[in-house]
Structure 1
Amino acid sequence: MLPGLLRNANRVHEFITEVLKQSGGTFEFKGPCFANMDMLVTADPAIIHHILSKNFSNYPKGPEFKQTFEILGDGIFNADSELWETHRKTTMSLINCEKFYQPLQRTSWEKVEKGLISVLDRVSELGIVVDLQDLFQRFTFDSICILVLGYDPGSLSIALPHIPCEKAFGDAEEALLYRHVLPERFWKLQQWLQIGKEKKLSMAWVAFDQFLSPWISSKLEDLSKSGAEIDGRGTTSTALTWFFWLLAINPSAETKIREEIKTKLDVKDDQKWRCFTVEELRKLVYLHGALCEALRLFPPLSLELKTPIQPDILPSGQQVDRNTRTILSFYSMGRMETIWGQDCLEFKPERWISDRGGIKHEPSYKFPAFNAGPRTCLEDEETAQKKRKMDVEEMGDSMKSLENKTLDSKREMDNRAE
């Protein structure tokens, strides 16, 4: 098992999915005694529900998670117990405030209109191929910096300037993923020697500090720490990238979305795109279903690590000992026939539309795109979908796929704007 895991480190999610399918949805792995790699990996909804909801208190993030994600500090993503509750209450009070959404919508729209569309128009004139995920990452990076720091780094501009902090996010995410699949002693040795992915992570950490330090003193009360920035930049840009890639290889779905927008929002072909209201977005059922389907197949949070503080018996009857690494594979869940049927690998927005023409709501332990249990994303699913729909609609008419390419572990995609 270990050699196979190391050989497939660059396609770890696909490899885990293959093993889970052969193992009935859950498998246990016993690593070498010196490697601290004993783990249980699962895509079973009953076990997911048990760990994230029913027996939540027995599965904190724990010291191992905090050590793996040390770059996130003591923010909400690493916190447990009282510190986590304090972070969550503070963040909820911000998110539930109407004043939070007004600048969020204004900032997003201005970045779409003056940043994203301007860049797409320019590369369209020049016939240049662009990396779609790179554009989305720049879009979300600039937007979050404006909201959190009150500063626009201008990474999304015609020149597509190199900004060390923006690039550092990708390096950090890749290094943290490798920490999940490599023996702890191995990545710690790399860290000590400053080689491989750990060297890139250290350089990314320096880039974060250099970028944030000038703003911390003036924005200390508003700063959500680097963990929130990684989440906002990574999850949003990843979701948008996969959404457009799925539309590129499923042109019939793209056609239906365009027709739905034209029909239900009365948008003309020659009409300039605008910022749609929440009431208007509620009418776009097929688009909502397409976004849910993209999140099912490519959840921004692909896996989650949990460690029990006491021995536990899972719904499957398997026993996990104290401190056993328990990996929940949300990516694999979207590819299990036992959960989604024989057509689970197909992109079918229709699976989310009820007989009455509304959206079907699946339980979070079956569709954990926003996590599940007490740690569910602070914005409920409907609110997050509305925000994503706003961005997708505003961008949608500017993109036309040039060619479909196999995406690597960095999830890149090349497109031509026309």
Structure 2
Amino acid sequence: MFFYAAALFCIIYFFHRRLCCRYPLFTDYPIIGMLPDLLCNLWRIHDFSVEVLKSHGGTGEFTGPWFTNMNYLITSDPINVHHILSKNFKNYVKGPEFREIFQAFGDGIFTADGEAWKYNRDLFQSLFKHKSFELFLEKTIRKKVQNSLLVVLEHVQQHGSVVDLQDVFNRFTFDNICSTVLGYDPCCLSLDFPEVAIEKAFNEVEESIFYRHVMPKRVWKVQKWLQMGREKTMTEACKSFDEFIHALIASKFEALSRCNENEETGEDCADLLTTLMREGNKEQHDDIFLRDAVFNLFVAGRDTLTSALTWFFWLVATNPLVEEKILEEINQNFGSNEENAVLSAEEVKKLVYLHGAICETLRLFPPIPFERKQALEGDVLPSGHCVNPRTMILFSLYAMGRFEEIWGKDCMELKPERWISQKGGIVYVPSYKFVAFNAGPRTCLGKDLSFLQMKIVAAAILRNYHVQVVEGSVPTPSLSVVLLMKDGFKVKITKRET
């Protein structure tokens, strides 16, 4: 009797599952769902997503093992993206499951919804647009480029050694974000390439978050409870980062008290953490709020820039004609660089072709390769796909940059000209097609500041050095929430002839 009841239950559930999943992306196996295809292609997940979405018209469904609620609607259709991120913004939120997966982010701007998100956004918008912060950021990055980045690259080229340029950018952006947010330079980027525990911990947190996306919730929850595998690594990494941040917050409160006593308001107290402490009272901006704000700012201003710069130099190094045109533009505007001068914010704004090359990099290799939302109420997407309440939706930004329907038949080519008008200005592309900085009300507040920093760094390196990829090096995207190179970016640096 039990056997027949079990068989009847399986048949009913099988047909129920078939009705629920009307647009399957992979083979839906009994009990284990579509997980086998995902795990078999996990090592090449981004390119695999391109292939699958192309073959299904840009949108489809993924269902995980039974009873795991690991079900997603996945899309790379710009009309759907526009609908979700802009037109029907209020119906699509990060949601509680997102906050659970991205637990390390706390209640910061990336995970918050509703009033909490609005408060964070208004706060950071006022900070980023303040002229004093723009000047502080520009001064900080130019100083770091001049005194650390170029010094290290000069040392590398003199010794003729191979260097991992991604590691160099990791260290550079970590030092820079620490200086900008915390007013503290940990000196990760120095000639001896020291191992900095907090920088390593930050990387481990992001890798662990990625695995929470591809593992059933019950599995990683058990691992977290037992403190084993990736979850143990994540717990230890978060503890290291939190201890580091809370110690700095305590010292900042002391420093701020001294600033107030001495009535100082100069650049020694101009970093974002100090400004956040000044902006609200201790109940509004307590230690937890400050910690979450700092973590979110680190993600926004550190790994995304590392990713963009790494892929930019790989693309430029493998496309010599583009490199030649970037140098031609720099030389036409500023001549030779005999004094190793670092360009200012106003100067790099003139570099339109460089801007186009960076946009192409972000199109082909978006630092955040996928975005996630949850529907509050049922909806029908412009593509005709039905969305049930609480449906989890994934956007593949990586796939969107490789679709002929969006970018044309030359979508796989590095073509900065695609961003330049006939009059020599920058072409506007709707954010729902070029989603590297998100779209709609959640569009990245630091977009202009990011372009500023990338241009300053790219121009400084290209004016002084030629980057040559080590023979046999083939970049593979890492399994992380940020699109980095799995085995680093090995290059040789040679002096640029003036």
Deviation at 1:245, TM superposition (A): 0.5
Say which of 240, 246, 252 aligns to 2:321: 252
Q: Which amino acid aligns with 1:346?
A: E
Deviation at 1:399, TM superposition (A): 4.0
Partner SS for 1:307 = strand
Say which of 314, 328, 340 aligns to 2:407: 340
Note if 1:307 corresponds to 2:374. yes
State the distance in 2 between where 1:383 and 1:409 align.
25
Say which of 295, 305, 309 aligns to 2:362: 295
State the distance in 2 between where 1:99 and 1:59 align.
35
Matching residue of 1:263: 332
Say which of 294, 299, 307 aligns to 1:238: 307
Matching residue of 1:357: 424
Say which of 390, 398, 407 aligns to 2:475: 407
Note if 1:229 corresponds to 2:262. no
Deviation at 1:197, TM superposition (A): 2.3
Say which of 314, 328, 340 aligns to 1:273: 340
Aligned-residue CA RMSD in angstroms?
A: 1.5
State the distance in 1 between where 2:474 and 2:226 align.
34
Deviation at 1:93, TM superposition (A): 0.8
State the distance in 2 between where 1:230 and 1:193 align.
28
State the distance in 1 between where 2:331 and 2:90 align.
48
Partner SS for 1:401 = strand
Q: Which amino acid aligns with 1:344?
A: C
State the distance in 2 between where 1:108 and 1:86 align.
28
Kept in 1, the 8 Å contact 2:181–2:297? The answer is: no
Partner SS for 1:39 = strand
Matching residue of 1:8: 41
Kept in 2, the 8 Å contact 1:117–1:398? The answer is: no
State the distance in 1 between where 2:424 and 2:195 align.
46
Deviation at 1:92, TM superposition (A): 0.8
Matching residue of 2:166: 133
Gaps of 5+ in 1: none
Deviation at 1:272, TM superposition (A): 2.2
Q: Which amino acid aligns with 1:387?
A: Q
TM-score by length of 2: 0.81
Kept in 2, the 8 Å contact 1:112–1:395? The answer is: no
State the distance in 2 between where 1:277 and 1:233 align.
20
Q: Which amino acid aligns with 1:308?
A: A
Matching residue of 2:394: 327
Partner SS for 2:93 = coil
CA shift digits 1:90-141 (9 cap, x unpaired)? 1111101000011111111111111111111112222221111111111111
Matching residue of 1:394: 460
Gaps of 5+ in 2: 1-33, 253-272, 278-289, 479-484
Kept in 1, the 8 Å contact 2:138–2:344? The answer is: no
Deviation at 1:382, TM superposition (A): 4.5
Say which of 82, 98, 102 aligns to 1:65: 98
Kept in 1, the 8 Å contact 2:305–2:450? The answer is: no
Deviation at 1:193, TM superposition (A): 2.8
Deviation at 1:28, TM superposition (A): 1.1
Kept in 1, the 8 Å contact 2:78–2:433? The answer is: yes
Deviation at 1:271, TM superposition (A): 1.3
Deviation at 1:375, TM superposition (A): 0.3
Structure 1 ranges of 4+ moved more than 4 A: none
Kept in 1, the 8 Å contact 2:176–2:185? The answer is: yes
Number of aligned residue pairs: 415
State the distance in 2 between where 1:191 and 1:408 align.
29
Note if 1:26 corresponds to 2:59. yes
State the distance in 2 between where 1:12 and 1:195 align.
25
Deviation at 1:204, TM superposition (A): 1.4
State the distance in 2 between where 1:274 and 1:81 align.
45
Q: Which amino acid aligns with 1:253?
A: V
Deviation at 1:368, TM superposition (A): 0.7
Partner SS for 2:163 = strand
Kept in 2, the 8 Å contact 1:6–1:182? The answer is: no
Q: Tell me the percent identity.
A: 49
Query: Residues 156 and 187 from structure 1, CA distance in 2 versus in 1: closer, same or farther, beyond 3 angstroms?
Result: same
Matching residue of 2:385: 318
Partner SS for 1:416 = strand
Say which of 134, 137, 148 aligns to 1:115: 148
